[in-house]
Amino acid sequence: MITEERKKILSFILILYEMIFSSHTLIFGTNENYFFVYTQYLVIPFVGILSIILLAKSTKYNLLSILTALFLSTTVLITSLINKDYDIRYFVECCLMISSLLFVSAVDFKIFKKIYINVLYLLTVIGLIEWLIATFFPDFVLLFPSVINSAGNVFYCMGFVNIHSQSSRYYGLAREPAVAIIYLMIALLFLLEKKGFKILKSLVFSFAIIVSYSTTGIIALLCYWLGVLVYFRETKYSKLILFVMILGLGYLIFNTNILELTGPVFNKFLSSNDSLNSRIGSFLIGFYLFFSSPFFGNGWAKAMSIIEQMSSNTLTTHFTNTILYLFAWYGIFWGVFFTVGLFLLVYKKKCLAFTLGSYLIILIILSGSRLTYDFLLYILSWYGYKLFCKPELSAEENKIIIA
């Protein structure tokens, strides 16, 4: 059997990969230098094959899970064949599906959750310190190496945070704030346990979301803290949480323009805003793509071609909805696997309101950016099925009660 120490090391490596080397980072995701972009295409199969080598012989597997992974991998290959789109990304998806199952089968959710929170907390604290330095000493940022993304925007890489040359938003290491807030909100959801609620870590993650000026992030964060207030209303944390919420809202209302209709967050609801247009476009085109090929999807080339043809002044080519992307690109089997898995991750039989609230937060954050071949998304979905099939672990060792 694989040792506990090796499980922790694997979790640490995987989370570092997700935060630093994945396609959702600036350096390896949207870098103008395609050498770095193509590098992560090679890293994903390597991580997958490494997981198979390390875990395959030392882990007990559920037969239904194995058959599910093989079935879904087969449907992706069928998608490639039907649409005559022979791209390496289909192979990458198969590697992610199988290797993530191996990982989840070997590593307890409790271990993964703890390491995820601690790693992201360390990266966020250092990143926020660097972000504050860049905010108050903008000329100092010019000393660091610059990177140009695929849209032509210049960023300065300070180590644990990327600083946009024309914006003060917090990006972390992600390619855009909408991606950074996904990682942060997941960590916040993980922290919600009545025994040992980590208020300091929650505040650090919340502050990072606020200064990202992400609309989906702010909306999800408001839902989160309202849920926290209700969930902890009869605990020793209730007064502290209420005080923190009043203090935070007071600061945002009276000392910033973040919550104003014309501020950096809610001005995106204006009809002329590209961010709003891309989200509306993603929703409408996503459903169109899914119903045009519901079983095996449209694949990469066909989907992008249709999106470009349907784009107009009101529907941009930036497809930002992760859930609809899974249905539209790969069909109903993949879409259902992820949507059900994420729901089961937060499912509580006796806490339906909390379950629905948690799932709503997940849907909100996944509507702001398209996560393609994302290891974390696969892992969380598989953990959802694992926790549901083993309620004794979910209720005690791997307790995740989410507001």
Q: What is the pLDDT of residues 363-375, one digit of tens each?
A: 999 988 888 878 8
> DSSP per residue over 185-198, as a string?
HHHHHHH--STT--
- If one counts every other C-beta atom within 10 angstroms of the C-beta of residue 71, the result is 12
Taking CA atoms, 283 is separated from 213, 226, 303, 350, in Å, by 22, 27, 14, 32
Q: Which is more confidently placed, 32 or 362? A: 362
What Rg do the C-alpha atoms of the chain give, in angstroms?
A: 21
Residue range 277-303, pLDDT digits in tens: 667 777 888 888 889 889 998 988 888
Least Cα distance to 403 among 173, 162, 241, 181 occurs for 241
Mean residue pLDDT across the chain: 81
Cβ contacts of 138 within 8 Å, gap of 6 or more:
none
Read off the DSSP letter of residue 144.
S
Identify the pLDDT of residue 229.
78
Res. 317: pLDDT tops 90: no
Residue range 167-179, pLDDT digits in tens: 888 999 888 898 9
Residue range 12-55, pLDDT digits in tens: 877 887 888 787 888 888 888 877 777 776 666 666 666 666 66
Buried b (16+ CB within 10 A) or exposed e, 329-363: bbbbbbbebbbebbbbbbbbeebeebbebbbebbb
**% pLDDT > 70, the chain:** 78
Q: Return the residue matching tokens 């060792």.
A: 397
Domain ranges across the chain = 4-267+334-397
Model confidence at 314, in pLDDT bands (50, 70, 90)? very low
Under a CB-based contact definition with an 8 Å cutoff, are residues 345 and 315 in contact?
no
Res. 134: pLDDT tops 70: yes
Q: Which is more confidently placed, 253 or 379? A: 379
Cβ contacts of 66 within 8 Å, gap of 6 or more:
101
Residue range 187-198, pLDDT digits in tens: 999 987 756 668
Identify the pLDDT of residue 154.
92
Residue range 85-108, pLDDT digits in tens: 888 888 888 888 988 888 888 888
Task: Find the distance separating the first CA and the last CA of the chain, reported in whole Å.
Answer: 35
